[in-house]
Amino acid sequence: MSDPTTATPEPEPFRVADENLDDLASTLAATMAEVRQHGVILDRLGSEPEPPTPDEPADNAGPDDVAADPTPDSGPASVFILALGGEAYATELAALAGWVHYLFLPIYGREISTTRPWCAKWYEHPEAVARLHALWLAWQQLTDAEAGLSGPSTWHRDHLDHTLLQLRAPDGPFAACTTSPARPTHRVLATPAPVTAGGAQ
């Protein structure tokens, strides 16, 4: 039988101060969003077929076949969200939403005003989705360690600043949406009708 006087005392339970719980929850949510984002990228990379090298044409390929797309039905060749459809689009949009909600808005959201509108339903504005997705793709590339020490600065200068000017402009995609946080509104503006080859609409 062990001597109770030499027993190791039970450690005190670890407690997080109430004011730090929000920070902890936010950090955890951001980490989970990043893990999901990496999963999407890995799935995307794993599903892309290896293109044949130029000096190794497919068997029985004629001279006309070498220049043709080797996998015409394999899906979009672009990772840009507008090139995706169906489930691939929904998956990419969900990953983008995690980045927008947990990184972009908390850091770069800025206050809503008449000169800087925003829409909580940004995902229903095709232009906003396109611009935010392009910004996110650039962020993934330029915040990677391989981008070097100036990568984040380049992302801010070449991508973020221009995107914010267009996205939050008074005549941008959110022009008919929220300009006052107290009165949230949402409306997708109509775009010009396409013109046919003969000029008639």
Least confident range from 36-40, 115-119, 135-139, 166-170: namely: 36-40
> Looking at the domain assignment, is residue 57 inside a domain?
no
Report the pLDDT value the prediction gives residue 17, as an integer from 0 to 100. Answer: 64
DSSP 176: T
Q: How confident is the model at residue 32 (pLDDT cuts 50, 70, 90)?
A: low
Structural domain of 120: 76-189
Q: How confident is the model at residue 194 (pLDDT cuts 50, 70, 90)?
A: confident
Q: Which two tokens mark 52? A: 């044949």
The 10s digit of each residue's pLDDT in 56-92 is 444 444 444 433 444 445 555 678 888 888 898 999 9
Indicate whether 192 pLDDT > 90: no
> Looking at the domain assignment, is residue 148 inside a domain?
yes
Task: Tell me the three-class secondary structure of 124-169, residue by residue.
Answer: HCHHHHHHHHHHHHHHHHHCCHHHCCCHHHHHHHHHHHHHHHHHCC
Closest by alpha carbon to 189, among 179, 169, 175, 168? 175
Least confident range from 14-18, 117-121, 189-193: namely: 14-18
Is the Cβ–Cβ distance between 4 and 10 less than 8 Å? no
> Looking at the domain assignment, is residue 52 inside a domain?
no
> Looking at the domain assignment, is residue 47 inside a domain?
no
More confident residue, 148 or 8: 148
> Looking at the domain assignment, is residue 150 inside a domain?
yes
Q: How confident is the model at residue 22 (pLDDT cuts 50, 70, 90)?
A: low
Total domains in the chain come to 1
Question: Angle 27-32-35 (CA atoms, 0-180°, nearest 5)?
Answer: 125
Mean pLDDT value across the chain: 77
Tokens 């949510």 label which residue? 29
> Looking at the domain assignment, is residue 157 inside a domain?
yes
Report the pLDDT value the prediction gives residue 109, as an integer from 0 to 100. Answer: 92
> Looking at the domain assignment, is residue 158 inside a domain?
yes
> Looking at the domain assignment, is residue 41 inside a domain?
no
Report the pLDDT value the prediction gives residue 129, as an integer from 0 to 100. Answer: 95
